[in-house]
Chains A and B, each alone.
With several copies, the nearest count.
Chain A
Amino acid sequence: MSYEYATVSGVKEEGRGVRTLWFQWERKVEPGQFVMVWVPGLGEIPLSLSSTDHTKSITIKSFGPVSEAITRMSPGDRIYLRGPYGRPFTRPTGQYLLIGGGSGMASLRPMVGPRAHAIISARSKDDLIFRDAFQPGRVHVTTDDGSEGFKGNTVDFLRTFDLSGFTEIYVCGPERMMFSVYRELRSRQVNARVEFSLERLMKCGIGLCDSCSIGGYQLCRDGPVFSIDELDRMEEFGRSRLVESGRRITL
């Protein structure tokens, strides 16, 4: 069986080192699901779909060789991919809030809609992505260096933010950020359904290799989206994870 492939139809610079690539791919994908993208000869990495309509997209930040090669793709190039994989976000039922840190906004992007509100955090102004996708006044920005919006991290902002109007809260970002958001939400009385899209090293994407596991669950199959109640039972969340060899490190 060969990989499926799609041809890149458009590319957009979203922020520092972050690009969106559009392509046609005849698969039904739900927001929160991901694909494994293969760069022949180089490697394969998991990427969320930042657009799940008929035209699909990935939004990618260059970290290492594979992600870099993908950001360098141009229209006409082939993307080899398999998927979609994983359990998607549940659908919102009222006014809902997206909390995104860094390139974590990529997986939240398909959740943008008329009833969406957002807190977008980044190190600096140039790292902010997708803030223009929201209606003015519904998006709150925080930067570590204060170059735009609130100066400080997500949780600093969240502490003073009223959550009572939301029926759902969706969170995606670096694990340290998600862990502090988790603790903040647990310390408050929150009635919304809260879901986190986690990240772990992924080698297989299909529930065999165990490299993405957390608390006995495979992120690639049982996640990457988990409810806050599920996180309660995961001793590893925010505390430790396995590196490439399987060695456990503390976060």
Chain B
Amino acid sequence: MFADLSTEVAGLRLENPLMLASGILDENGYSMLRVLRSGASAAVTKSIGEEERNGYRPPVVHPLQSGMLNAIGLANPGIEEYGHEIEIARRAGKPIIGSIFAPDEAGFSRLAERMQSFGVSAIELNLSCPHVKGVGSEVGSDPVLVKRVVQAVKSVSSVPVFAKLSPNVTDLVEIARAASDADGLVLINTVRAMAVDIRARRPVLSNGFGGLSGPSIKPVGIRCVYEVRKAMDIPIVGVGGISGFEDVVEYIMVGSDAVQIGTALWRNGPGIFSSILCELEKFMEEEGYRGIGEMKGVALQ
């Protein structure tokens, strides 16, 4: 028996459930191209704003025992300059999902329109960056603003729109409901966190705090997908701490339609996509699943 790895999320057809997460190896079009050629079914671009930003000065990442701390600071060349990178990445012939950030719905709408003009297959709204003031999770923790942003972008978009939410909120389901006009949700962005170097006596990131990703946050991501899936019926892309096929299966079993992988590229490089796919297929065959759909949500009963 052969397992079929293809899946669909909010109308986006994917040859397998593994996408590249936003912000990892997606500043340079050639990097996205390589990741896609290494097996990812789609790539989410790094979050792009209207103006060029340098981000924070290094250190912008810090590896921890079982995770990664980062505060890149939304470095990006500005939407106009980024079109060229998308053009390069599109050579792979796979979906590119344009991630955007802005302080308000007008900015999000302008960015979404421009992204579409570059030929992206979907838009991802970054409503959840935990370490830049005025954008990201400051937008994403206000249900009224979330609703307005999602509706505004939906009204100018002909491609699916995903809202990427933050786990750093008291009531995630409330925010998810506010974002329910989106075609799908992406859960989760990083967890607000910090580390101090005890000999240098200073925070390790130049920004002080940042976002925690990697294996440490997987149980948080699983909980978020579970919680939202129990409360509402909307396509979900699971992300946070995936580093092996078990994690992919876990996210799917709590109701994800697809997943994204970021930090795991650290230890494993882009080769992680094909190695997870290989093991995922083996697992499905052993356990008797013919397709992703058969695993979806089985842990929700």
Contact = CB atoms under 8 A, between A and B. Distances in A.
Interface in A21-40: 36, 38, 40
Contact of B77 (A5, A209, A217, A245): A245
A221 B268 CA distance: 10
A113 B256 CA distance: 53
Interface stretch (B61-69, B111-119, B224-232): B61-69
Contacts of A215: 30
A206 B262 CA distance: 13
Contact of A1 (B60, B65, B81): B65
B197 A80 contact: yes
A206 B265 CA distance: 9
B133 interface: no
B81 A247 contact: yes
Interface string A207-251: 111110111111001100000000000011000001011111000
A3 B200 contact: yes
Contacts of A221: 269
A204 B30 contact: no
B76 A208 contact: no
Interface in A1-21: 1-3, 5
Given A1-B65, A245-B55, A208 B265 contact: yes
A242 B68 contact: no
A144 interface: no
B33 A216 contact: yes
Interface stretch (A41-49, A68-76, A187-195): A41-49
B54 A245 contact: yes
Interface string A49-66: 000000000000000000
Nearest to B30: A216
A78 interface: yes
A203 B200 contact: no
* Chain B interface, DSSP helix/strand/loop, else mixed: loop
Contacts of A244: 54-55, 75
B36 to A, nearest CB: 10
* Chain A interface, DSSP helix/strand/loop, else mixed: loop
Interface residues of B, number: 51
B265 A207 contact: yes
B46 interface: yes
Interface in A119-157: none
Contacts of B25: 207-208, 210, 213, 218
Contacts of B59: 36, 38, 43-44
Contacts of A5: 199-200
A246 B28 contact: yes
Nearest to A236: B30
B216 interface: no
Given A2-B246, A41-B202, A208 B68 contact: yes
B206 A208 contact: no
B266 A214 contact: no
A241 B27 CA distance: 11
Contacts of A216: 28, 30-31, 33-35, 37
7 contacts: A205-B61, A213-B28, A216-B28, A216-B35, A244-B55, A246-B85, A247-B78
Closest 4 CB pairs of A and B: A216-B34, A247-B77, A210-B27, A44-B58
Interface of A: 1-3, 5, 36, 38, 40-41, 43-45, 78, 80, 82, 202-211, 213-218, 221-222, 235-236, 242, 244-248
Interface of B: 24-28, 30-31, 33-35, 37, 46, 52-55, 57-65, 68, 70, 72, 75-78, 81-82, 84-85, 195, 197-202, 204, 206, 246, 262-263, 265-266, 269
Given A40-B202, A211-B27, A244-B54, 13 more contacts: A2-B198, A43-B59, A45-B58, A78-B199, A203-B61, A204-B58, A205-B61, A209-B27, A209-B61, A210-B31, A215-B30, A245-B78, A248-B81
